[in-house]
Structure 1
Amino acid sequence: MNSPIDCSKVRFAIQAVREAAQLVRQVQRELVTAAISKDDKSPVTVADFAAQAIVSKRLLEAFPEMGFVGEESSEVLRTPAGQETLEQITHFVRRVEPTATPEEVCAWIDRGAGEATEEFWTLDPVDGTKGFLRGDQYAVALAFIRDGQVRVGALGCPELGEGITPNKGGLGTVVVSRRESGCFASSLADENSDWKKLAVSDESDISAARMLRSVEKAHTDTGGIGELVTALGILADPVGMDSQAKYAVLAAGGGEINLRLLSPSRLEYREKIWDQAAGSICVQEAGGRVSDLDGKPLDFSHGRILATNRGVLATNGHLHEAVLAGLKTIGA
């Protein structure tokens, strides 16, 4: 496997994300069918758990002394109601770990149920549930954190193609960054493909800014974003996309603003670290800027949530202060 950065953690992150993302894609292709009902989340549940199990197993092999914070816990899988789902998860995990038992799968998943330590890895096994179920954008997001700062981040985006553009059913893209070493993208499916260094857009005209907006409306304050667009005089069409794939597109210059406003009904909400860690370093290392809605850097030293940060703002850097000023104008 080639790597754009000579670092054991970068090489591990690339390989782990590639393996997990391709496993998740197998689950999607086999379990997500046209006949599936809108409220049936079982395929993404299987994908989430299978990806976390295999990344946890790989971490145990490569960095057994390091902590691991994952999104999932196997508690429900150990109940009678969860047995069928556990059998499905184990079936897919055995694609890459042929001797895995249900008990081992649960144990691997539960390694991610602890709290953050001085240095640890954090994983969102399938970021973008609705995108996954629609056959649209989703991502496997893995990051290494030390002393409250993201040091390495990797995104596996099965439905993004070369140039970080939507490409359903294509080879997919893996994006990786290390602090002070840049951001790079390559083929998800081809380990021998070349790496391309990514750079954010140089757009400095706020009216031309392309805002990367979630397709899933529940994930942000859509009304507030509409107010912000009006206040800033943004004329460019937004780019609709779920998951941390938005960070990859922003890092590659495919948009200028990625925003998570707090819902008026959930002003106390704080972001989970796995939802922002990998993507945020990719944007920063591509030349962009990431902060909370008050302009403060994201602080990953408070356990499983960004306890001292309100929302998230990622931009190409050139437009960051303008957006922060606009947020104050609308009282966000």
Structure 2
Amino acid sequence: MSYAKELQVAELAVQRATLLTKRVFHEKAKGTTSKDDKSPVTIGDFGAQALIINAIRKNFPDDEIVGEEDADDLRQNEPLRSQIWELVQKTKLDDDAAEAVLGGPLKSVEDMLDAIDAGKSAGGAKGRIWALDPIDGTKGFLRGGQYAVCLALMVDGEVTVGVLGCPNLPVDDKAPLDSSIGADQNDEEGKGVLFSAVLGHGATSRPLSRAGLQPSQPISMKPLSDITQATFCESVEAGHSSHGDQAAIANKLGITKQSVRMDSQAKYASIARGAGDLYLRLPVSKTYQEKIWDHAAGVVIVGEAGGTVTDAFGKKLDFSIGRTLSANKGVVAAPKAIHAEVSKVVIEVLSSK
């Protein structure tokens, strides 16, 4: 299957949601609250989730959705609820045909809250299930770094469609990565990319737009004949990924370049288009489980761009179990030709601890 309609709806829904997140990105006060795990959530997270889930429900009413947020706190917080509703009402694409594809606006505050709460699926191995992270990299979003709006469709546990909206990445696929890209960013002219992939059909990038979809071009990972020249990406937050283990792996591989630290699935997007080469996210805890919405879109985009993504021990990431990757630990993403070499060193370093 080509999943043409699913891809179109996902791309337009993510593109429209980035308009909302960009509006919040420029505000000093982002309506931030804390969840039970102490991670931050903003009015942008809630608003983007409402818009995207509304579009999915209008087009694919029988599909399930695994979303990161829920509306429990909003039902008790009228000022925050009103802020989000105002944002949602203001956000639309400057293209009536594109808006029609998405199924029209949310009709009321209750409609908005119900849309947010429609992301409570438990996930699983059967049927069509969307994985949504309305703002991946919220800490990056808050500090003015990288973030991504992420949406993927899983069919019987296999990720088949993936879309990433990265408002602060350069449009130019050939723009090199350097250590400054993780902080002090903006979405000015020349920034803002929509990355997409369908399983078996390749990966693309295109500029984000306020209207319909712009022309796309295929992307691919960079051929890497000398692994010592690789650029590797990792998370900014030490709580998300073991910087020490990753430095040891880079050293064993002979990589001398400084790592590029950035938040969100912008890392997957950056290596998929050849701006970087490797993405390492190694476990910091024996009990931590990765969330499916933090990886699903990026995994299919990297895979379709010529890469391989496994966990830290070489196992395929299993999205069929539920809301987390409970059968996996960590992430290693690299071009197919060198993934086995990288994976071998990762296992050596982790096994020596």
TM-score by length of 1: 0.90
Asked if 1:139 corresponds to 2:148, the answer is yes
1:148 counterpart residue number:
157
Q: Are the counterparts in 2 of residues 128 and 137 from structure 1 also a CA contact under 8 Å?
A: yes
Is the alpha carbon distance of 1:262 and 1:192 closer, same or farther for their aligned partners in structure 2, counting shifts above 3 Å? Answer: closer
Tell me the distance in 1 between the aligned counterparts of 2:277 and 2:264. Answer: 16
Unaligned residue ranges in structure 2 (runs of 5+): 92-103, 176-180
Shift in Å, 1:16: 0.7
Which residue, out of 56, 59, 70, partners 2:56? 59
Overall identity of the aligned pairs, in %? 38
Is the alpha carbon distance of 1:147 and 1:108 closer, same or farther for their aligned partners in structure 2, counting shifts above 3 Å? Answer: same
Question: SS where residue 319 of structure 1 aligns?
Answer: helix
Shift in Å, 1:133: 1.2
1:73 counterpart residue number:
70
TM-score by length of 2: 0.85
CA deviations on 1:214-267 (whole Å, 9 max, x unpaired) are: 22222111111122122222112322211101111100001111011010xx21
Asked if 1:249 corresponds to 2:270, the answer is yes
Shift in Å, 1:31: 4.2
Count of residue pairs brought into register by the alignment: 321
Shift in Å, 1:103: 1.9
1:310 counterpart residue number:
329
Which residue, out of 306, 321, 326, partners 2:340? 321
Q: Are the counterparts in 1 of residues 289 and 326 from structure 2 also a CA contact under 8 Å?
A: yes
Question: SS where residue 164 of structure 2 aligns?
Answer: strand
Shift in Å, 1:30: 2.9
Shift in Å, 1:151: 0.3
Asked if 1:94 corresponds to 2:89, the answer is yes
1:83 counterpart residue number:
78
Q: Are the counterparts in 2 of residues 67 and 119 from structure 1 also a CA contact under 8 Å?
A: yes
Tell me the distance in 1 between the aligned counterparts of 2:278 and 2:62. Answer: 37
Instruction: Return 166-175 or 180-189, whichever deviates more.
Output: 166-175
Tell me the distance in 2 between the aligned counterparts of 1:163 and 1:282. Answer: 17
Asked if 1:285 corresponds to 2:304, the answer is yes
Which residue, out of 283, 286, 289, partners 1:267? 286
RMSD: 2.3
Q: Are the counterparts in 1 of residues 234 and 280 from structure 2 also a CA contact under 8 Å?
A: yes
2:118 counterpart residue number:
111
Amino acid across the alignment from 2:122: E
Amino acid across the alignment from 1:310: K
Tell me the distance in 1 between the aligned counterparts of 2:66 and 2:12. Answer: 18
